[in-house]
Amino acid sequence: MKKGTIFLIKFLGIITLSGCVNNPMLPSHFNHTSTQKALIFKTNQSTFITELNNTSDKNTRNSYINEFLLKSDIQCRDYLNAPEKSSQINQNENQLYMNIFDAISTAFGLSYITNTAKTMLSSENNSNLENQQAYKKALSPEIQRGVEINRERYAQKIKSKMMLSIKKYPISQVRKDMLTYDKQCNEAYGLIEINRALKAMRQNLNHPVENTKTAINLEAVKKSITQTTKKVQAKKKLKIKSREKNATK
């Protein structure tokens, strides 16, 4: 079986697993070492106008939901751009990056580019940390767009339940939905959306889907990976030349 075919099978398998919003491979199961503690997003409700409690009626519940979704989205954007967030890629995220590289390789025939990217992300050598951060930074805009797309999808599900009575959509369920919404402010969901977009592109190869402002820009993803890889390769060549030069002295 050809390598490209194997990559595609693996990729489609991960996409199938990641199709659900509450996926077992996502943030709630992420493992973080003591030296890489993850910041967990939680919407700050200290300035909320609407208060929610177990006796809230339907109107209060709906007002709270609207306020929560609006302010949570603003806070989530700030959180994803926070400079203190870890720039390291953990093991779970690493697999999602690898699937993106495989899919890009298969879709655009860029194995010579993506193989370098995979090598950098799979290496445990501390000297490659800078390169790993470079790939994460390069893909950051589309990762964040993916987070927004995923959260908007879930927000629509929440809004569709606002017409229900308080008995059919009780406060306890609202709180569970808000908790889920907060958990989805995580870069892993953005990576999942990029993978989902790549899968859709493969399925619609003969009938391309028009790119919109609400979609992942796959050309930007390809360009970011290509440009970053070329920079990584250039830096590697400079280091080799420097070592050879010092060895001849």
pLDDT tens for each residue of 114-159 = 888 888 777 666 667 787 888 888 999 999 999 999 999 999 999 9
101-120: buried (b, 16+ CB within 10 Å) or exposed (e) per residue? bbbbbbbbebbebbebbbeb
In terms of Cβ atoms closer than 10 Å to its own Cβ (0-12, 13-18, 19+), residue 213 is: exposed
Name the 3-class secondary structure at 4.
helix
Indicate whether 43 belongs to any domain.
Answer: no
Q: Is residue 34 part of a domain?
A: no
Question: HSE of 37 in the Cβ direction (CA atoms, 13 Å)?
Answer: 3
Query: What is the number of domains present in the chain?
Result: 1
In this structure, is residue 28 part of a structural domain? Answer: no
Count other Cβ atoms within 10 Å, centred on residue 249. 4
What number is the average pLDDT over the span 14-19? Answer: 41
Helix, strand, coil shares, percent, the chain, to 5: 65, 0, 35
CA distance 115 to 98: 10
Q: Mean pLDDT for the chain?
A: 79
**Residue 143: inside a domain, yes or no?**
yes
Separation between Cα atoms, residue 143 and residue 195, nearest integer Å: 10
CB of 116 closer than 8 Å to CB of 236: no
CA angle 117, 14, 128 (to 5 degrees): 20
Q: Which of 15, 24, 184, 187 is CA-nearest to residue 93?
A: 187
CB-based contact 42:182 (threshold 8 Å): yes
**Higher pLDDT among residues 22 and 167, named by residue:** 167
> Is 147 inside any structural domain?
yes
Tell me whether residue 29 is in a domain: no
d(CA 51, CA 65): 10
| Better-predicted residue by pLDDT, 7 or 167 | 167
Q: What is the CA radius of gyration of the chain?
A: 21
For 222-244, what is the mean pLDDT? 81
Owning domain of residue 65: 3-19+48-247
Evaluate whether residue 180 is within a structural domain: yes
Per-residue confidence (pLDDT) for residue 84, from 0 to 100: 66
In a domain, 31, yes or no: no
All residues at 6 or more sequence positions from 103 whose CB lies less than 8 Å from its CB, including other chains? 7, 8, 11, 195, 198, 199, 202
pLDDT band at 29 (very low <50, low <70, confident <90, very high): very low
pLDDT of residue 187: 92
| Distances, alpha carbon 174 to alpha carbons 47, 64, 112, 178, in Å | 19, 10, 48, 6
Q: State pLDDT tens for residues 52-90.
A: 999 999 999 999 999 999 999 999 999 998 876 666 677
For residue 4, is pLDDT > 60?
A: no
Judge whether residue 48 has pLDDT over 90.
Answer: yes
Q: Find out whether 123 and 167 touch, Cβ atoms under 8 Å.
A: no
